[in-house]
Structure 1
Amino acid sequence: MTAVSSTGSTLGALQRSRRSHLAWLSVVLSVLACACLLSVSLGTRDVGWADIFAGVTGSTETIAQAVVVVRVPRTVLAVLAGAALGLAGAVMQGVTRNPLADPGILGVNAGAAMAVVIGIAWFGMETLDAFLWTAILGAGLAACFVYAIGSLGRGGATPLKLALAGAATAIASSSFTIAIILPRNDIAGGVRSWQIGGIGGASFDAILPCLPFLVAGLILCLLSARGLNLLALGDDAAAGLGAHVAWARGGAALGAVLLCGATTAICGPIGFVGLVVPHVCRLLVGADHRWLLPFSALTGAILLIGADVIGRIIARPSEMDVGIVTAFIGAPVFIWIVRKRRVRDL
């Protein structure tokens, strides 16, 4: 009777947990839908519902409808970029078992940005396809370099050493990027604007080439959920439970690199989304990556859309780039995480 009662209690707890997760999923999807509507309707010129409907169907008879036509691809890019960065951050935190892991803090975004700037300044790179491949290559090399440096010494790749190696790599990459740009007045203005990180001027012609990379990264990351759950137990325990540790870590990292590289190529290096979002999602659905990863993608999309809308409103009639707004949001959260976790315990 005791075993039966215990089994029934466990099943009941799982069912309640599943219902709670589904309830939160419906809330997050509703918030995302509202954020998309706000993104289309708010800005330098506010747009009414009738003009939104007409603009979405392709009508440009009025200025308001033309504004909607411009904002729709911008909103789509915000959804894709936010989802990519949120998901990549959750995966990186799982791969490194580091609560401070983030594409920006680990130097992945900075590596992608440096590679693109080198391509522009030294090789005359101009096409988006070239930007994409170069950014992904730079992101991958930066990730490998950080992991190699963090693995040196006693204890291997500890969370603290990875965070320090990533911060040093990000600073060095950014400094080298600035050194390349300074003597090149012909490219300095455009590159500096791109380095801030933004989604203004988005178009479907620019978004479409990125989709294969984003879809591939999304699939790899979502498929890595079980492996990340096992890696959270430690490499030895994961191997004992049948996981191929190297493949699990490598596949997840490759997915995150694809997402970061593609996003950086089209938007520039946007920071802190991948840091903030996974921690928020853990409060909602716990640490199970089967739920955490999709929630991180959806919540990342909400955060980036919200940051874009805030940037349009507070700087009227101009705009504040989304990368600046996410930095204002993410920096206090970063400090809170460090104080809560205490760096010596990482």
Structure 2
Amino acid sequence: MKIALISDAWHPQVNGVVTTLIELVKELRKLDHYVEIIHPGLFSTRPCPGYPGIDLAIRPKKNLSQFLKKLKPEAIHIATEGPLGWAARSLCLQSGWSFTSAFHTKFPEIFNASAKVPVSWGYALLRRFHQPSASVMVPTQSVLSGLQRRGFQNLKPWTHGVDIDLFRYHDQPILFPTLGALPRPVALFVGRISYEKNIEAFLEMDFPGSKVVCGVGPMEKQLRQRFPAAYWLGILPRSELVTLYASADVFVFPSKSDTFGLVLLEAMATGTPVACYPVDGPLEVIGKSGGGVMSHDLNDAVLKALQISRQEARARAEAFSWGTAAKSFTDYLVPIRQ
């Protein structure tokens, strides 16, 4: 099948959506599908306000139309609700093409946290965006149920996976060369240092060991100044990230707004147990099967997660497969002309 995958999130951005799409495309190509990624790098761009490192396409509709006419895809999937996503939606409606879409990010909560935009306004806009979609792919059942309550339709459960060969298992925490021998235990956060990640809950914990932060974002400078005792690493290539995950005693995921949390799977795949709040992403990733601890008291979750075996964490990660995710994805696709 020839698939046009349209996304406002792609290289050189570093986030869970980009990782998800990269892994999805790899699996789709293994299944002999032809996938063309249409991303901001193909257009004139400008930085996203408040989010350095994320560039958005400027008025992409005309060039996007030319791309699609040349490609002649059999299926169109709109992965994000940014300028490219809206342009693709408009072109599909004008041309009478069917398409699918995905709900990856809780933008209403992000805009509420960063600019105090009412959450209900954000969901009204996203509901309008996804209303014509033949299938709206959602990463967890709890997020799907929440969207149903807000009036979204055509929702499909679409979980994600982890590359268990890349994120190798270690039965004991290993040394991360850049940091050397830190005081144990080591608690690790990996993600964008931005409003919606609730990273202050991690940094403010009363923790007996070392706190390590890997990532960049609009709150980085401010938080570095407030919490100089933490170890700040910036962005690391995935080859080094594997070692970093494996060097931690516990991975802490303080976000309450993520729809999934790929970093949870990546940490557990290396054997590092996770601690998080009992919210949408962790409820699906950890569930009742172990590998981590969920609690409304994050500090308590961290201390209990330290008691979980690394083997248990790895076993939970092995339950998630990119191959399964790619199969579900293709099942939900629709021909552009039905």
So what's the TM-score if we normalise by structure 2? 0.23
Q: Write 1 or 2 for the structure with the bigger share of helix.
A: 1
Q: Which protein has the bigger strand share?
A: 2
Q: What TM-score comes out, normalization by structure 1 length? A: 0.23
Structure whose alpha-carbon radius of gyration is higher: 1
